[in-house]
Amino acid sequence: MQEKRQGKWLQVFSINPGRVSEMNSNPMIGESNVASDGRALQSDESWTFKRRAFLRMLGYGASAVALGPLMAASRSAIGQSAAGNLRAELVHDADFWTSVQKMFVLNTDRTFMNIGTAGSMPEAVLSLFAEENFAKARDSLNGYGDRADLRALVAPGFGVDSDELAFSYNTSSGMCHSILGIKWKPGDVIVTTNHEHFGGDVPLAIAADRYGVEVSRVALPVGNNQTAATYVSLFDERIRQLKRQGKRVRAMMWSSPTYKTGTMLPIADLMEVVKAHELISIVDGAHLPGMMAYDYGALGCDFMSGAGHKWQCGPGSTGILIMRNKIRASNPLPLPEWYPVHGTAYNNTPRTTNGTATWDVAASVTNCGSTHVPMYKALVKACELWDSIGRKKIETYDLALSAYLKERIVELWGVDALYSPKDDPKLVSALTSFNPFQNPADVMNREKSNQFVSLMLSDYSPGFAIRNAGFDVIGAPAQHYGVRVSTHLWADADDVDRLVDAMWQLSKKMA
Ligand SMILES: Cc1ncc(COP(=O)(O)O)c(C=O)c1O
């Protein structure tokens, strides 16, 4: 399915404004979002019955039900394996996804399956970026301002208003804005997990040292044996326990999904715990923009810090920070007392107590001296592409590919090899983490796990770019270094098959 596309893209580096606008005339990358055969990219409305059925199978739509029982039912009804059913669904719309794959300029010598670390700008985004960079240099443009116009273009895709969507530099910067902007008091407790990224852990540590905040971590179980209720009760019980000890619990902070196992800690369910205990809610959503089609107005979390450069495929140094800035039915709690920590726009008007914002809180994050506006414009272009394809459609594709990968892993290694849940639709993401070793204990050997990842890149053609991550597993004598695979728009069922075959071969070789 992949095609050599680099030759064409190289043209854009001849710094010539005429050339750049020619690049924009490519029908694949133009505003109309029309595929090379002239066919308009499909909208959600034009989905086939089969695809809608597939959506339901993943737990979406009016009759959302658990994935497990439905998959079991469909398996027995047509006598196929779960993986077989998923593959058939993925292949069903192959033409459409091939047209989407052609938006990217990825090196075809590799199969890029580490989007959780870095995405890739589509050609249309690169062209716009180049054009805007050229204009900035040509006209000596400055970068002052709060980008309200650009934020207004992106915000509806995330279910919020422009005063609730800030451009940050990345997830980590958004987490610093969120955590370090809150007015903490010594002894305040933040409940979080033992599987957080340092992008969230570092501002937590700073808040602990600087403001006397205490951090309480719940230990996350891993694998397919959990349901959303497992994680809800872990947080709820910890908070109750802390309260019984007389502690002042003020906030919950968690990753959805965790970068270590790809477990989608269920935001909507955890928000019920947040509301029951009247807490501030901070979500490290590094992987959410561009992967999941969440409506943050409906979720009601106070902060969600996501990356613009991962699944959303915007430029590096871009992030999307959602900040609750008015009272909606989804979260009637008062807005937290929060102050900008990094910026050149400050408004000390008290925050609203009703449904109308008193000031643009997201402007205070975005507006910080002279910034690189082309970068934000390129991020907006990426978001517009995602909106035109359909965020829900992208989410379904990514989750379906990941579900297929998980089923293939189960077929060969067994379900116990999975660190990512697969059967509760509330817990799934497009990150798949598992133990690839024939001797399961080898996953605690960091060197061996690193070697597995390097050999997948060097010894196969095209090489597979994947990664590993170390994490605590309850009851294990040492950290597990699970292997993590990201499945996104430029991969398809054939890529997953090749990946699984290669990983199986390599695991045998390394046994
Ligand atoms: C859960 C999580 N949080 C934060 C980060 C940091 O992301 P960024 O590079 O956008 O700051 C990552 C990066 O992979 C992550 O996975």
Write the pLDDT tens digit of every residue in 215-234: 999 999 999 999 999 999 99
Structure tokens belonging to residue 305: 């810090």
- Bridge partners (DSSP) of residue 281 are 252
Judge contact between 193 and 265, C-beta under 8 A.
Answer: yes
Paired strand residues for 369: none
Question: What's the token pair of residue 362?
Answer: 């997201």
Whether a cis peptide bond, with omega within 30° of 0, leads into 436 is: no
**Do 358 and 243 share a structural domain?**
yes
Q: Final residue of a domain: which of 361, 386, 411?
A: 386
- Kindly report the protein residue whose alpha carbon is nearest to atom 13 of ligand 1: 117
CA of 318 to the centre of ligand 1 (A): 12
- How many CB atoms sit inside 10 A of residue 187's CB? 13
276 Cα to the center of ligand 1, angstroms: 29
Claim to verify: residue 131 and residue 150 sit in the same structural domain:
no
Residues 317 and 405 in one domain: no
pLDDT reading at 212 higher than 70: yes
Q: pLDDT for 446-485, tens place per residue?
A: 999 999 999 999 999 999 999 999 999 999 999 999 999 9
* CATH label of the domain that carries residue 95: 3.90.1150.10
Q: Residue 190 carries which DSSP code?
A: E
Using CA positions, which residue lies closest to atom 4 of ligand 1? 199
Q: Ligand 1 atom closest to Cα of 116?
A: 14
Q: How far is the centre of ligand 1, averaged over its atoms, from the C-alpha of 197 (Å)?
A: 6
| In a shared domain, residues 297 and 415 | no
Same domain, 176 and 217: yes
Residue 171 Cα to ligand 1 middle (Å): 5
* Residue where a domain terminates, one of 334, 357, 386: 386
Angle at Cα 158 formed by Cα 348 and Cα 147, nearest 5°?
Answer: 50
Pocket test for ligand 1, best of 172, 177, 254, 258 (most atoms within 8 A of CB): 172
Give pLDDT, residue 87: 85
Structural domain contains residue 162 = yes
The dihedral over CA atoms of 81, 84, 89, 93, expressed in degrees to the nearest 10, equals: 180
Ligand 1 centroid distance, CA of 484 (Å): 14
Residues with CB under 6 A from ligand 1: 116-117, 170-172, 197, 199-200, 255, 259, 284, 286, 307, 319
Parallel/antiparallel/unpaired status of strands 165-168 and 319-323: antiparallel
Mean pLDDT computed over every residue of the chain: 87
C-alpha to C-alpha distance for 351 and 334, rounded to whole angstroms:
9
Q: What is the pLDDT of residues 33-42, one digit of tens each?
A: 333 322 233 3
What is the rounded radius of gyration, in angstroms, for the C-alpha atoms of the chain? 23
Report pLDDT digits (tens) over 475-495.
999 999 999 999 999 999 999
65 occurs within a structural domain: no
Task: Check whether residue 177 and residue 281 sit in a common domain.
Answer: yes
CA of 199 to the centre of ligand 1 (A): 6
Q: Which domain holds residue 250?
A: 143-386
> Residue 9: what pLDDT?
37
Compute the average pLDDT of residues 275-302.
98
Residue nearest to atom 12 of ligand 1 (CA): 286
User: Any idea of the CA torsion for 368, 373, 379, 380, to the nearest 10 degrees?
Assistant: 100
Atom of ligand 1 nearest to the CA of 170: 10
Answer whether residue 131 is part of any domain: yes
pLDDT on residue 276: 98
Same domain? For 250 and 378 the reply is: yes
Residue 439, pLDDT score: 98
Q: Give a yes or no: residue 58 inside a domain.
A: no
The Å distance, Cα 76 to ligand 1 centre, comes to 40
Short-list 251, 267, 258, CA closest to 208: 251
Does residue 98 sit in the same domain as residue 182? no
Could you identify the atom of ligand 1 that is nearest to the CA of residue 308?
A: 10
Span 145-163, average pLDDT: 98
Number of domain units in the chain: 2
Q: Where are the alpha helices (DSSP H) in 158-266?
A: 171-181, 198-211, 228-244
Q: Are residues 213 and 316 in the same domain?
A: yes
Do residues 135 and 147 share a domain?
Answer: no
Percent of the chain with pLDDT over 70: 84
- CA 73–ligand 1 middle distance (angstroms): 37
Tokens 């339901």 correspond to 56
User: Which residue is closest in CA terms to ligand 1's atom 1?
Assistant: 259
User: Tokens 């915000």 map to which residue?
Assistant: 155
CA dihedral 121, 123, 129, 132 (to 10 degrees): -170
Query: Of 386, 402, 434, at which residue does a domain stop?
Result: 386
509 contacts 496 by C-beta, under 8 angstroms: no
**Ligand 1 pocket, mutate which of 167, 168, 171 (most atoms under 8 A from CB):** 171
| Span 229-248, average pLDDT | 98
At residue 80, the pLDDT reads: 65
Residue 69 lies in a domain: no
Residue 68 lies in a domain: no
Closest C-alpha residue for ligand 1 atom 14:
117
Instruction: Give the residue whose CA is nearest to atom 8 of ligand 1.
Output: 171
510 bridge partner residues: none
How confident is the model over 319-351, as pLDDT tens digits? 999 999 999 999 999 999 999 999 999 999 999
* Predicted pLDDT at 164: 98
Q: Which atom of ligand 1 is nearest to the CA of 258?
A: 1
| 484 CB-near residues (< 8 Å, 6+ apart) | 114, 116, 259, 260, 262, 431, 432, 433, 466, 467, 468, 469
Give pLDDT tens digits for 64-93: 322 333 233 333 333 468 888 888 888 788
The region of weakest confidence among 71-85, 165-179, 373-387 is 71-85
Query: Ligand 1 center to residue 206 CA distance, Å?
Result: 17
Confidence of residue 155 (pLDDT cuts 50, 70, 90): very high
pLDDT digits (tens, 9 = 90+) for 182-200: 999 999 999 999 999 999 9
Q: Does 1 or 29 have the greater pLDDT score?
A: 1
Q: How far is CA 290 from CA 35, 257, 393, in A?
A: 20, 13, 11
Q: What percent of the chain has pLDDT over 90?
A: 81
- Measured between its terminal Cα atoms, the distance across the chain in Å is 32
DSSP H or E stretch at residue 480: strand 480-486
Same domain for 160 and 309, yes or no, is yes
Among protein residues, the one whose CA lies closest to atom 7 of ligand 1: 171
pLDDT at 57: 45
Q: Tell me, yes or no, whether 55 lies in a domain.
A: no
Q: Which atom of ligand 1 is nearest to the CA of 306?
A: 10
Residue 8 Cα to ligand 1 middle (Å):
32
pLDDT one-digit tens code per residue, 124-147: 999 999 999 999 999 999 999 999
Q: Which two tokens stand for residue 472?
A: 């605590």
What's residue 183's pLDDT?
A: 98
Closest of 203, 207, 172, 169 to residue 187, by C-alpha: 207
Task: Determine the pLDDT at residue 84.
Answer: 85
Residue 16 lies in a domain: yes
Same domain, 286 and 363: yes
How many Å lie between the centroid of ligand 1 and the Cα of residue 114?
A: 12
Q: Quote the ligand 1 centre to 156 CA distance (angstroms).
A: 23
